[in-house]
C-alpha cells in the first residue's frame, strides 16, 4: 500500500510540473491576445485601448516597433535575455536564475508598418511544485497509511475470526480426543461456511472410523477369547497327557473347528467394520436382482430352496454385498429350520419399492425378540446357532440394506416360520 501510494505520488509530481507549465502558457496566450485587440498604430504612434493591461495575471506585455525597439511596457527584472522575435511561437527562455515563457505577436498596419506585442511570464518552477506536493504528501501519506493499515488490520481480523474459531475447535478436538464435537457454522454463506461443513464431514468420518475401529478391537478381543482358550486348553492337554490316536484326531478336529470359527469371525467383523466406515458400500452399479438370487441359489440343494422371481428387476447395488445378504438370510433359513425344512426366496417390484424376501418354515422368533436380532452378537438361543454362528449375520444384513438406502423387516411366528424382507425404494 505504501509502495502504491509513493508511486501515485511520483506520478503526480511528474505530471503536475508539466500541467502547471502548459496552464501558464495558455494563460499567457489569452492575456496577450486580449491585449493585441486593444493595440493600434495611429500615424506611426502606438496607442493602447481602455482594456489594455501592461501587467495582468503574471503576464507582462511589452510593445516594440517594427525595428524591435521597446516603445511601451516594462521588462520583468529577471528577464535578461536578448530573445529574437518570432510571431506566434510560445517558448521557454532560460534567463540564468529563472525560466520565462515568451510569446510574440505581430500587429500589422498597412503593408510595411506594424508593432511587435511581446508577452512574458515567469515559468512555474518544477521543484517549487514538487516541494509543495511533497510537503502535502509528508502530512497526508503517513495519515493515509496509518488509517488504511489500521482499517486493513481490523477488516482482516474480523474476516479471519471464524478461522480462529475453527482452529480452536479443531485443537480442542485433537487435545481432548472428543471426536463427537462439531464446528459451529458461521453466519452467512461464504468460504468459511463451506470450510466448516468440510471439516464437520471430516470429523464425522473420523469419528465413524474411530468408533468402528474401537468396536472392532473390542469385539475381536472379546469374541476370539473363547476359541483361543479352547485351542490353548486342547494343546496343553495334548502336550501333558499321552493321547490315543482317536483322542488326538478329536483334539485336532476341535482345533480345526475353532480356527474356522475364528477365521469366520474375523472375516465377518472386518466386513461389518468396512460397512460401518462406508468403504464397502461405495461401489453401487445397476444389476439384475433376480439373476443375482438365481446365482446364489445354485449353491443350495434345489429340492429345499424354491425361487419365486419376477424377471428383470434392475436395482442400483453392490453385487458382493447383496450376494452376502441373500446368503446370510438363506443360511439362517436352513440353520433355524425344521429337520428337512424348506426355504423360499422371492423378488417383487411395485411402483414404490423392490422387495426381496427369504421365508422359511422353521422355528420362528418370539415377538419380543424380533427387534433385537439385528444387534451385533445377539442370539435368541446360542445353542441353536452352532459353532459357526456368532450373532453377526443379521447385523451385517441390516447394514447392507442401509448401504443401499433400504431397510429390513421381519415377520415371524414361533413354530411356523419367519420371513425376512429387504425393501429397496425405487
Kindly list the distances between the CA atom of residue 251 and the CA atoms of 100, 245, 258, 386, 389, in Å, as whole numbers in the listed order. Answer: 123, 10, 11, 18, 21
Residue 421 contacts ligand ADP per CB under 6 A: no
Among 86, 191, 213, 381, binds ligand ADP (CB under 6 A): 381
- Which of 42-50, 59-67, 137-145, 387-395 is the region at the interface with ligand ADP (rule: CB under 6 A)? 387-395
Query: Nearer to ligand ADP by C-beta: 230 or 380?
Result: 380
Give the whole-angstrom CA distance, residue 379 versus residue 395: 11
- Least distance CB 185 / ligand ADP (angstroms): 40
- Provide the grid cell at 374: 439385528
394 binds ligand ADP (CB under 6 A): yes
Applying CB under 6 A, the span of 91-99, 205-213, 226-234, 386-394 interacting with ligand ADP comes to 386-394
Q: CB of 354: closest distance to ligand ADP in angstroms?
A: 21
Interaction between residue 360 and ligand ADP (CB under 6 A): yes
Length of the chain: 426
What b/e readout covers 128-161, taking b as 16+ CB neighbours within 10 angstroms? ebeeebeeebeeebeeeeeeeeeeeeeeeeeeee
Q: How far is the CB of 417 from ligand ADP (least distance, A)?
A: 7
CA dist., res. 149 & res. 343, Å (int): 80
> Residue 347 in 3-state DSSP?
strand
Cα 364 versus chain centre, distance: 53
Is 380 an interacting residue with respect to ligand ADP (CB under 6 A)?
yes
- Smallest gap from Cβ 402 to ligand ADP, in A, equals 15
The verdict on 185 binding ligand ADP (CB under 6 A) reads no
What are the Cα distances from residue 172, in Å, to 178, 183, 187?
8, 11, 21
Rounded to the nearest whole angstrom, what is the least distance from the CB of residue 381 to ligand ADP in the complex? 6
The single residue among 418, 421, 422, 424 that binds ligand ADP, judged by CB under 6 A, is 418
389 in contact with ligand ADP (CB under 6 A): yes
For residue 268, state whether it binds ligand ADP (rule: CB under 6 A).
Answer: no
Burial of 5 (0-12, 13-18, 19+ CB in 10 A): middle
| CA 82 vs CA 69, 73, 92, 302, 357: distances in Å | 12, 16, 13, 129, 119
Instruction: Give the pairing of strands 305-309 and 343-349.
Output: parallel
The C-alpha atoms of residue 300 and residue 317 are separated, in whole angstroms, by 23
Distance CA 29, CA 38 (A): 15
Stretch that binds ligand ADP, among 20-28, 151-159, 306-314, 332-340 (CB under 6 A): 332-340
Using CB under 6 A, which of 379, 399, 406, 408 touches ligand ADP?
379
Q: Give 24 or 390: the residue with its C-beta nearer to ligand ADP.
A: 390
Between 124 and 389, CB nearer to ligand ADP? 389
> Of these, 73, 227, 362, 406, which contacts ligand ADP (CB under 6 A)?
362
Candidate list 333, 347, 354, 406; residue touching ligand ADP; CB under 6 A: 333
- Would you tell me which residues interact with ligand ADP (CB under 6 A)? 332-333, 336, 360, 362-365, 373, 378-381, 385, 389-395, 418
Amino acid at each position: 500500500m505504501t509502495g502504491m501510494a509513493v508511486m501515485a505520488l511520483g506520478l503526480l509530481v511528474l505530471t503536475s510540473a508539466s500541467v502547471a507549465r502548459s496552464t501558464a502558457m495558455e494563460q499567457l496566450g489569452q492575456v496577450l491576445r486580449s491585449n493585441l485587440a486593444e493595440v493600434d498604430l495611429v500615424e506611426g504612434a502606438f496607442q493602447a485601448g481602455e482594456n489594455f493591461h501592461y501587467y495582468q495575471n503574471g503576464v507582462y506585455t511589452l510593445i516594440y516597433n517594427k525595428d524591435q525597439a521597446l516603445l511601451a511596457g516594462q521588462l520583468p527584472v529577471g528577464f535578461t535575455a536578448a530573445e529574437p522575435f518570432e510571431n506566434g511561437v510560445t517558448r521557454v527562455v532560460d534567463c540564468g536564475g529563472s525560466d520565462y515563457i515568451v510569446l510574440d505577436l505581430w500587429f500589422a498596419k498597412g503593408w510595411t508598418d506594424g508593432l511587435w506585442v511581446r508577452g512574458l511570464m515567469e515559468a512555474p518552477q518544477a521543484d517549487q511544485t514538487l516541494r509543495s506536493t511533497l510537503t502535502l504528501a509528508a502530512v497526508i501519506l503517513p495519515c493515509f497509511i496509518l488509517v488504511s493499515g489500521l482499517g486493513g488490520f481490523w477488516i482482516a481480523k474480523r474476516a479471519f475470526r471464524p478461522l480462529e474459531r475453527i482452529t480452536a475447535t479443531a485443537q480442542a478436538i485433537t487435545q481432548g480426543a472428543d471426536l463427537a464435537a462439531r464446528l459451529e457454522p458461521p453466519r452467512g454463506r461464504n468460504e468459511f461456511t463451506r470450510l466448516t461443513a468440510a471439516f464437520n464431514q471430516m470429523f464425522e468420518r473420523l469419528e465413524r472410523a474411530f468408533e468402528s475401529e474401537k468396536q472392532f478391537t473390542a469385539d475381536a478381543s472379546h469374541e476370539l477369547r473363547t476359541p483361543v482358550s479352547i485351542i490353548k486348553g486342547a494343546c496343553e492337554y495334548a502336550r501333558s497327557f499321552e493321547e490315543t490316536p482317536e483322542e488326538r484326531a478329536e483334539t485336532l478336529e476341535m482345533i480345526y473347528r475353532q480356527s474356522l470359527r475364528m477365521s469366520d469371525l474375523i472375516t465377518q467383523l472386518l466386513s461389518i467394520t468396512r460397512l460401518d466406515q462406508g468403504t464397502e458400500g461405495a461401489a453401487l452399479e445397476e444389476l439384475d436382482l433376480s439373476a443375482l438370487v438365481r446365482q446364489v441359489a445354485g449353491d443350495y440343494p434345489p429340492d429345499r430352496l424354491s425361487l419365486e422371481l419376477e424377471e428383470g428387476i434392475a436395482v442400483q447395488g453392490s453385487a458382493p454385498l447383496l450376494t452376502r445378504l441373500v446368503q446370510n438370510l438363506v443360511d439362517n433359513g436352513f440353520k433355524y429350520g425344521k429337520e428337512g425344512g424348506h426355504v423360499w426366496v422371492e423378488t417383487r417390484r411395485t411402483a414404490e419399492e423392490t422387495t426381496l424376501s427369504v421365508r422359511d418354515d422353521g422355528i420362528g422368533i418370539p415377538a419380543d425378540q424380533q427387534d433385537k436380532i439385528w444387534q451385533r452378537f445377539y442370539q435368541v438361543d446360542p445353542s441353536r446357532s452352532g459353532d459357526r454362528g456368532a450373532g453377526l449375520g443379521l447385523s451385517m444384513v441390516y447394514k447392507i440394506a442401509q448401504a443401499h438406502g433400504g431397510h429390513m423387516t421381519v415377520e415371524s411366528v414361533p413354530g411356523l416360520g419367519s420371513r425376512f424382507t429387504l425393501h429397496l425404494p425405487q
